[in-house]
Chain A
Amino acid sequence: MKETGNTVTVSNRMNAMHISSDQEYIRNLYTRHQDAERLYAETRTARIRTAMFGDWLKNGEDNEENELQRNGANISPSKLMIVERLAGNSRQLRAAVEELLSIQMSLDDMTVHSINDLIGLMSDSDPAIVVRAVQRVYILCKEDHSTSENAHLVAKLVEVSRSDNIAIKRSAMGALAKISEHPTGRMHLFRSGGLVELIRMLYCPVEVVVRYAVATLRNLLVHLDSVKDQARALGAVEALSPLLLRTDPRMLAHVADSLYSLLHEHAKSKLDFLSLGGPQTLVEILNRYQQHPKLIFTVVRCVKSLSVCPQNKAALISLGCLQALYQLLCTSTDSRTQLAILVSMRNLSEAATNEENLSQLVKRLLQIVRSSDDAQHVACACGILSNLTCNNVRNKQTVCSDGGISSLVDCVRRFPDVEEATEPALCALRHCTARHPFAEQAQRDLRLSGAFGQLVILLSTLRAPVVKAALGVVRNSALLQDNLIELTQEMTPTGQTVLSLAMEVWILAINKLREDPNAETDGVPMWGVVEGAVSALHQLATHKQVSHDLIHNSDALQLIYELLRDPFVSQSDDEVLERELLGLLYQISQTSDGASAVDQSGFASILSECLRSQHRSVSTYASGVLKRLESDRPPQYRQEMDMEASSGWQRDGMEPELFSEMYRPGSMVGHPIGVDNGGWYDTDL
């Protein structure tokens, strides 16, 4: 003990003294007492100072005090002097004051220096210090955007975000979320390997960490293209998809937006998402969160991306996605959302032809066709209608009974230069004027709504997709006898008619096919254009005037002859073109002028071959034409013709050889008749 030590010192001094007198002794004793008092007081001060302000001592300052300190350090708390025990509270108080002072300082003084200090403190071994440092950094990041410029800080935050300490993780993620709002910050974050951490944190059980991670990830994905592939490789789609089951609209919107970046133009991600059950969750969100327009927009965009993928198309339709989109189309007020809905629907429509409950949607689309001034919206609506009316009787009827024919004609009139609208509008008109109970009324509606004027204008553009569609509408219009006069008299300002335009298109297409047998223009095969032109002319030729014009149009018979001799036509599995050519020839040959023109053009041998066609329609038309040509022939020939004609259409699928084996009809094969070798058809064919 210190006191003991001092007492010993005193007594030693006493032993060493000469005792001269009592008085001197007393004086000495008093002096020594005073010395001892002074000494004790000094050590007490030192002890208190040591206890309370130990960090003020400097090395080698005072041996005695150092000694006291050393001794004090070896005392167990139970044997602490009262001074030391009292000192404990004041020390805590002092620490609290210091902390407050330092926080105040860091908030007032946002210099790069203090940031560097914080970076240092974030490496501290004491978690409590790290927590405080990261919290301070988080506050700084919220208040000062320049923190995002500091690459060291970002790297350190990414490092500490791996901590198991939730307080540290949370603040670090909060800070990174703030940093990711700035371009430089995003770059530093990406370069510090933050992407791996962010995706891993999507699985964190602490909701607020997930929230920060999603927001940060979205900022990276939306702004940095280079991030996307890496994020996909790191399993971002798998990590994000389950988060669509959360209920916070803001979080859902961030998740959907992130997913959109990953799904957009990336086929494999779309399939991955499908295998995770993603489409179903999206449709549920569309049905459940209609009060949150922004969330809906982000989700519709995901649907739009998915809807170009065949597998996702089918899934979305079976999940009732079209109905969900229809509901939103009715409630949404935002033009951008509406367009995304319409584009999605148009992508899906091709796979929805067998859906039976789309009448409301069809009516809604017609409303857009009628009233929208936005060409893109109208184009989408027409495209959807074109697909929904493909081989779907109910949808065709809905269009017709809802005044859709005149709406579509008006639409073509309003947007004549928007091919993305006119082409599908024409296809929808074509679909609705054939093969359903209201088809004839629809053909009449075409005339009543002034469609024919539009048809010649559109034909005169000579744009392959438009022309092909328009020819189909012309053909169906011509099915109705009442339409024929008006249809054939309609003219463009330059005097072109349906007939002259159909011939022009036909010749143009043939010229292209002469250069290249597989010619296409704007994705339209020229064979399809030829087919459309011939098919339209076939119906138009039921009008006597047209038939008459065609007889005197050397091009027409020449083209028919050329095509019937083309192996591509006669040996095709598809009988359509051959059938239409013969149908056209049949119509032309109905008048005696026509019959003799056909006869003089040397068709007999071709027609004889056509009699043996595997296609009943082809052999029947050939028989019909040959019957017409008979009138100039001797009786003997007529008898043979009878046999020939009957055999042609009564074989009922028997092989020609077998049939002639069994029934031995008179055969004309190899006996071409009436071939005019001086005819035009021998030249340059």
Chain B
Amino acid sequence: DQYNIANLRKPVMGLENGGGLGLGHPIAPPSYPDRPPPVDDALRSRLRELESDPNSAPFDELRVYEDEGDNVSMVTLESLESQPGGG
């Protein structure tokens, strides 16, 4: 996968900021100690990658041919040259 390693950083919530279960509390946006890139930019670049992903469909396909061809057409071998001394 080719994407910006910066995007791999995971947000970590401090416990003092109401980590716990937080039931009944309105959910506050997490605080990022060292400011990860805004979601919008990251998402946009991921979408761009997807849209230009050469490995998306349609995939190349193989076709297995099993064609034994004509119904045993006759060959005349009478005119076939033989080595001298042949029977």
* A residues adjacent to B (C-beta < 8 A): 174, 207-208, 211-212, 218, 222, 247-251, 253-254, 257, 260-261, 264-265, 292, 294-295, 297-298, 301, 304-305, 308, 336, 339-340, 343, 346-347, 349-350, 353, 383, 386-387, 389-391, 424, 427, 430-431, 434-435, 439, 471-472, 475-476, 531-532, 535, 542, 576, 579-580, 583, 586, 617, 620-621, 623-624, 627, 639-640, 642-643, 645-646, 649-650, 652, 663-664, 666
List the B residue with the shortest CB-CB distance to A391: B60
Do residues A305 and B75 form an inter-chain contact, with CB atoms below 8 A? no
Do residues A650 and B10 form an inter-chain contact, with CB atoms below 8 A? yes
Do residues B75 and A430 form an inter-chain contact, with CB atoms below 8 A? no
Please report the C-alpha to C-alpha distance between residue A586 and residue B51 in the assembled complex, in whole angstroms. 10
Which of the listed residues A248, A346, A427, A666 has the most CB atoms from chain B within 10 Å of its own CB? A248
Do residues B63 and A383 form an inter-chain contact, with CB atoms below 8 A? yes
Q: A620-B47, A642-B39 are in contact. Are A308 and B80 (CB under 8 A)?
A: no
Do residues A623 and B43 form an inter-chain contact, with CB atoms below 8 A? yes
List the B residue with the shortest CB-CB distance to A586: B47
**Residue tally, chain B, CB below 8 Å to A:** 47
* Residue B61 lies at the interface, judged by CB distance under 8 Å to chain A: yes
Do residues B80 and A250 form an inter-chain contact, with CB atoms below 8 A? yes
B45-87 vs A, CB cutoff 8 Å, 1 = contact: the mask equals: 0110011011111101111111111001111010111110011
Distance to closest chain B CB from A375 (angstroms)? 14
Do residues A427 and B63 form an inter-chain contact, with CB atoms below 8 A? yes
List the B residue with the shortest CB-CB distance to A435: B54
Q: A248-B82, A250-B86 are in contact. Are A350 and B62 (CB under 8 A)?
A: yes
Please report the C-alpha to C-alpha distance between residue A427 and residue B43 in the assembled complex, in whole angstroms. 34
CB-CB under 8 A from A336, the residues of chain B are: 73
* Residue B7 lies at the interface, judged by CB distance under 8 Å to chain A: yes
Known pairs A439-B54, A620-B50 / 4 extra A-B pairs, C-beta < 8 Å: A249-B80, A350-B64, A391-B60, A663-B10
A-B contact pairs, 24 of them (CB 8 A): A211-B87, A249-B82, A250-B81, A257-B77, A261-B72, A294-B79, A339-B69, A349-B65, A350-B65, A387-B63, A389-B60, A427-B63, A434-B60, A439-B54, A532-B58, A576-B57, A583-B50, A620-B50, A621-B47, A621-B50, A645-B43, A652-B8, A663-B10, A663-B30
Q: A390-B62, A576-B57 are in contact. Are A251 and B86 (CB under 8 A)?
A: yes
Interface of B is mostly: loop
CB-CB under 8 A from B65, the residues of chain A are: 308, 346-347, 349-350, 383, 387
Distance to closest chain A CB from B13 (angstroms)? 6
CB-CB under 8 A from A250, the residues of chain B are: 77, 80-83, 86
Distance to closest chain A CB from B25 (angstroms)? 11
CB-CB under 8 A from B83, the residues of chain A are: 247-250
Do residues B7 and A650 form an inter-chain contact, with CB atoms below 8 A? yes
Distance to closest chain B CB from A39 (angstroms)? 63
Query: Pick the contact of B68 from A253, A304, A350 — CB < 8 Å?
Result: A304
Please report the C-alpha to C-alpha distance between residue A644 and residue B11 in the assembled complex, in whole angstroms. 13
Query: Pick the contact of B27 from A349, A542, A666 — CB < 8 Å?
Result: A666
B1-23 vs A, CB cutoff 8 Å, 1 = contact: the mask equals: 00000011011110000010010
Please report the C-alpha to C-alpha distance between residue A383 and residue B39 in the assembled complex, in whole angstroms. 48
Please report the C-alpha to C-alpha distance between residue A434 and residue B55 in the assembled complex, in whole angstroms. 9
CB-CB under 8 A from A583, the residues of chain B are: 50-51
Query: Pick the contact of A294 from B30, B62, B77 — CB < 8 Å?
Result: B77
Q: A248-B83, A260-B72, A650-B10 are in contact. Are A343 and B67 (CB under 8 A)?
A: yes
Q: A623-B43, A650-B7, A666-B27 are in contact. Are A308 and B68 (CB under 8 A)?
A: yes
CB-CB under 8 A from B57, the residues of chain A are: 475, 531, 535, 576, 579-580
Distance to closest chain B CB from A528 (angstroms)? 9
Which 9 A-B pairs give the minimum distances between C-beta atoms? Answer: A250-B82, A472-B58, A308-B66, A211-B87, A390-B60, A208-B87, A646-B39, A248-B83, A576-B57
Distance to closest chain A CB from B42 (angstroms)? 7
CB-CB under 8 A from B40, the residues of chain A are: 627
Distance to closest chain A CB from B8 (angstroms)? 6
Query: Pick the contact of B74 from A222, A251, A294 — CB < 8 Å?
Result: A222
Please report the C-alpha to C-alpha distance between residue A387 and residue B51 in the assembled complex, in whole angstroms. 27
Do residues B63 and A430 form an inter-chain contact, with CB atoms below 8 A? no
Distance to closest chain B CB from A599 (angstroms)? 18
Do residues B68 and A627 form an inter-chain contact, with CB atoms below 8 A? no
Do residues A346 and B67 form an inter-chain contact, with CB atoms below 8 A? yes
Do residues B29 and A643 form an inter-chain contact, with CB atoms below 8 A? yes
Distance to closest chain B CB from A117 (angstroms)? 27
Do residues A248 and B47 form an inter-chain contact, with CB atoms below 8 A? no
